[in-house]
Structure 1
Amino acid sequence: MSFVCRSCLKHGLALASTVRPIPSIATLPLTFSRGYARPPKAASARKSAAHSLSRNVGKSKLPTTGKGRPAASSAKGRPEAPRGKSVDAKDKRDKRDKTADDKPKVKQGNAMTATASLQAFSIEERNHLDKVLAKNLGFESFRILPSVREAILEKALSDLEIHKPSPIQALAIPKILSLNFAKNLETARAYLIAAETGSGKTLAYLTPVIDYLKRQQEPYVSPPKLVKDEDGMWEEVAREEPEEPKIGEAELRKLNHPRAVILVPSSELVRQVTQLVKTMSYKVKLSSLGIASETKDSIVRRSFGQYPIDILVATPARVQDYLKDGFISLDNTSHIVADEADTLFDTSFVDLVKPVIKAAKNLKGLVMCSATIPRALDSYLRKEYPECERIVTPKLHHVPRRIEFLMVDTTSNHFNGRKDLALLDTLRTIAADGTEPGVKKRVIVFVNRREDALTTAKYLEKKELNARVITRDTQNRKDVLERFLADEPRDENAKVSEAMKVIVTTDLASRGVDTKNVRNVILYDVPRSSIELIHRVGRVGRFGRRGRAYMLIGKEPKYKLAWIREVRDTVRNGSGLV
């Protein structure tokens, strides 16, 4: 565990971010012991130099104020932007498929107040979770059916070389699994599972949901009984007679009656979650359907009419459309999952989500999933679901230590305030740093506005870089994203334009999209809040992999410089962004 000297933070001293600019190194990695930072050994520093920015990228220190003094740091030592409320404007051009890309426009100088601050968690809560996680025995310790366990290990995790549950899976799966054995529930149970990006939250909620659906699918004979052995592992014990009467197949699985519904805010997430659902469903013999914004109505109606759908993945707007015209019913729906809950329960989506939940009259479990808990979401859940059980990891609201966080001063003499030059030089440095041998590198560049995404991509294309844009206005988002994420061989002697692929995007690609093979992100614009920062930086360092995040700093207002400084210090110290 890392410790931070609050006294030093109060006086503006950044213990965890002491950086000494030297030729060809923008940032030195630091090691910590009870809050005291010490430079790495010389050999480690030389090794780091091969993977850092070129000398042209500028100094690692933050820009100063107009009087030449560093911007003051907050006395609290917390990297939260000033609190404020945001109202997401409804886009009249596309009411059917709202996405995380639909951000409210904010006045310049007030950008940091666009999103409410993050909810804090006590040290006691985190210490308790650490103790629980120390007992993580593996997937065999979960009371799940053998076929579900095989679907996890042989299908869902086969490409990741992971054989043990992640922290959020170890915490959430047993809790939600308890629903599968609960009887005579008068009201649905609500759960919030929250963990850092790339931690396996999708599998954390899918496992108990699929296990429940599979158990209920046995029409006349109960599934095998599971008992614990001496090592605390669950093993199968066959039985001939059912333990209790089972619902008949025809009554349980009806046409146009999905048994579980997973709501996500964007078409990209529909495709991604559906892919994992289908991978696991095939193994356990369940049916599934994904409805994205571009999915044709004729395909949806034909699919529902041909066979019963066990798991439906869709945006809230598409589900509500089919509920309104009476085409589907949620009377048989036992589980609803709200993935990316911090988005689905904000002002732009909540009016679409609430009717879907209300339509599930026999709901057994409501699972909300998020990488952040904004105060707005916290307040909403306390009001609407006061009995909601919260399942969080100790590292919630942390940027993983495996992510190297670097800042680029675009006000240096070399760039003269031109962020486009700083971006170009950073990309060229990444292309030539000797990492990711044999494959084309993939870099995501985040901007705050859709207009800037197009302008920035065109600039990079003029400089002969392979750059594409993904925003809500992009017509072929699916194809662009698939080509970007695909592995492509690279000639080590190839020029920069052939050595990497670049996506310029807004928050549309920052939430939930599986970017496990992306190792570098660049924050071209300073994020408007800690929430945006967590989601954008979280595109790298997924599933235990290492990654780097670069943030370009220009002539920013004083309050924003103070926030940036606190973010830098907190991230490098391994503390939470609250």
Structure 2
Amino acid sequence: MSRQETLYNEWINLPQSYKRAFSLLFSDLPLDFKLKKSIEIQGFNELTEVQTRAITKGLLGQDLMVASKTGSGKTLGFLVPAINRLLTQKPLSKRDPRVLVLAPTRELAKQVFMVAKKLIQNTRLSCALVVGGENFNTQAKYLKKNPDIVIGTAGRIADHIDAKHVFFNGLELLILDEADRMLELGFSSQLSLIHEQANHRKRQTMMFSATVDSAEMSRMTDNLLNSPEKIVIDKVSVPHTGIEQRFYLSDHVDHKDKQLLALLRLSARQQAIVFTATRDDTARIQTALNENGHNALFLHGELLQNQRNAVLNDFLNNKADVLVTTDLAARGLDIRNVALVINYDLPKHADEYIHRIGRTGRAGDNGIALSLVGKRDWWSFKAIQTRLMQSFKFSELEDFPARFKGLVSPKKQAQKPLIDKNQKCNKASEKTVGKAKIVRKKHEANAIDIGSMPMKKKRKAED
């Protein structure tokens, strides 16, 4: 037994309290030497907590259900054990892909693909990216070459299954990244189809998600996983302590525009992401920022795939200092230079706020998240406070103070003070003083009550 395997076995048997006190190095893991070399070249040394627990269990071939917040290093947590398996074990089939990694968006799939390519660069393994927005026939040609690893989106993979361009009878690992987001986007039927194509006892499945406690996630876990090891690193509803959060009240759009320019103060080689609610605002704000000395780009879902790729590549390569985007970039982007996230508009859902601000403070770095709160953002702000179980005080920009101070809850507004009956009578008597009392003569109806409504009946004529 090698030194690495001895260390690894000792680590596995340590109590969890000891594991948290000591850090594990990639060099200590029993990995194939080619994979170790690639990891070393990429500059990865010490494992994060999610990597430690996911990789050590994943190397043993166990199914995993992992919950961890963004920026914790999940990508290496599933790619390292997957690639190590391909390098150290014989394939189940010579034709089918051995590993399938599914991501909710094209951008996240592409980012995982780039990491995988770097990890297999010293090996004979091949990798293919299969996402929507790219040429379908070209992807079919790639799939016919039998790549070892396929990384893509569930919708496009399902399309290729229907077209019989790819088969997963020999699939060894199925990996779902951001599984909760895939369900939100409506990919449950495609996931079921993919699962059925590779439903055999030798398949290992690893599922990574921000949340695991929903009913839909539980059903998905029961369907796809076989006695999984459940790993919950921390409360995903709480951003890590390295992100400073500040909130500013805003009066209207023009006021927000001025506040945004005042808040966008970046030092050399730092970048910022500005999140908006609408696609139209991304282009409008990008133009305004460029007119005021910034080098900004905009991104939203209506752009063609090649346009989206170009924008992300330019931002990743530090050719722009600000990216103005919708929630399209709220998950998956891993850009070390993003020191600042600004919510021009708050998202409707509190969980999406957590994913947004998780674009900064990556891999242990510190970051700042600033949010503008107008009338339309108020109830989102209250939901965020409830979700995070925190009460935030508002900061203020001296040059751009806000007149808006918040909204009253509709329930509180509906609760009017009750007036005592005696007070009503007194008010009524005060109004009648000095006025003649009007007496109306009552007319009695010669009627018999039938049910709840008095009705008149004709009397029978007397003989």
Same fold (TM over 0.5): yes
1:261-340 equivalences under 5 Å are 261-305=100-144, 307-340=145-178
CA 419–152 in structure 1, closer or farther in 2 if over 3 Å, else same: same
State the alpha-carbon separation in 2 of the partners of residues 552 and 323 from structure 1: 45
Higher normalized helix content (fraction of residues): 2
1:532-543 equivalences under 5 Å are 532-543=352-363
User: What is the SS of the residue equivalent to 1:178?
Assistant: coil
On the 8 A contact 1:381/1:388 being kept in 2, the answer is no
On the 8 A contact 1:442/1:485 being kept in 2, the answer is no
Which protein, 1 or 2, shows the higher relative CO under an 8 Å CA cutoff with sep ≥ 6? 1
Q: Check if 1:480 corresponds to 2:353.
A: no
TM-superposition CA deviations, 1:79-104 (whole Å, max 9, x none)? xxxxxxxxxxxxxxxxxxxxxxxxxx
State the alpha-carbon separation in 2 of the partners of residues 550 and 358 from structure 1: 45
2:372 to 552, 556, 568: 552
TM-superposition CA deviations, 1:105-140 (whole Å, max 9, x none)? xxxxxxxxxxxxxxxxxxxxxxx8554322433223
Shift of 1:202: 0.5
Shift of 1:315: 0.9
User: What is the SS of the residue equivalent to 1:405?
Assistant: strand
TM-superposition CA deviations, 1:243-275 (whole Å, max 9, x none)? xxxx6xxx7432xx2111011122112221111
CA 572–367 in structure 1, closer or farther in 2 if over 3 Å, else same: farther
Shift of 1:514: 1.7
On the 8 A contact 1:408/1:422 being kept in 2, the answer is no
1:395-544 equivalences under 5 Å are 396-410=236-250, 417-431=251-265, 436-437=267-268, 439=269, 441-461=270-290, 463=292, 465-475=294-304, 476-488=307-319, 501-544=321-364
Shift of 1:468: 2.8
| Structure of higher CA gyration radius | 2
Count of residue correspondences: 375
Matched with 2:25 is 138
State the alpha-carbon separation in 1 of the partners of residues 237 and 389 from structure 2: 15
Q: Check if 1:215 corresponds to 2:97.
A: no
State the alpha-carbon separation in 1 of the partners of residues 310 and 274 from structure 2: 18
State the alpha-carbon separation in 1 of the partners of residues 385 and 196 from structure 2: 44
CA 132–479 in structure 1, closer or farther in 2 if over 3 Å, else same: same
TM-superposition CA deviations, 1:60-85 (whole Å, max 9, x none)? xxxxxxxxxxxxxxxxxxxxxxxxxx
State the alpha-carbon separation in 2 of the partners of residues 557 and 303 from structure 1: 46
State the alpha-carbon separation in 2 of the partners of residues 545 and 368 from structure 1: 26
TM-score normalised over the length of structure 1: 0.60
User: What is the SS of the residue equivalent to 2:169?
Assistant: coil
User: What is the SS of the residue equivalent to 2:69?
Assistant: coil
Show structure 1 runs of 5+ residues with no match.
Answer: 1-127, 180-188, 218-246, 411-416, 489-499, 574-578
Q: Check if 1:151 corresponds to 2:7.
A: no
Show structure 2 runs of 5+ residues with no match.
Answer: 1-14, 394-463
Residue identity in the other structure for 2:322:
V
Residue identity in the other structure for 2:33:
P
On the 8 A contact 2:246/2:369 being kept in 1, the answer is yes
On the 8 A contact 1:409/1:554 being kept in 2, the answer is yes
State the alpha-carbon separation in 2 of the partners of residues 560 and 572 from structure 1: 13
State the alpha-carbon separation in 1 of the partners of residues 111 and 321 from structure 2: 21
TM-superposition CA deviations, 1:371-403 (whole Å, max 9, x none)? 344624543346535833221213533211111
TM-score normalised over the length of structure 2: 0.74
User: What is the SS of the residue equivalent to 2:338?
Assistant: coil
State the alpha-carbon separation in 1 of the partners of residues 253 and 213 from structure 2: 30
Shift of 1:211: 0.9
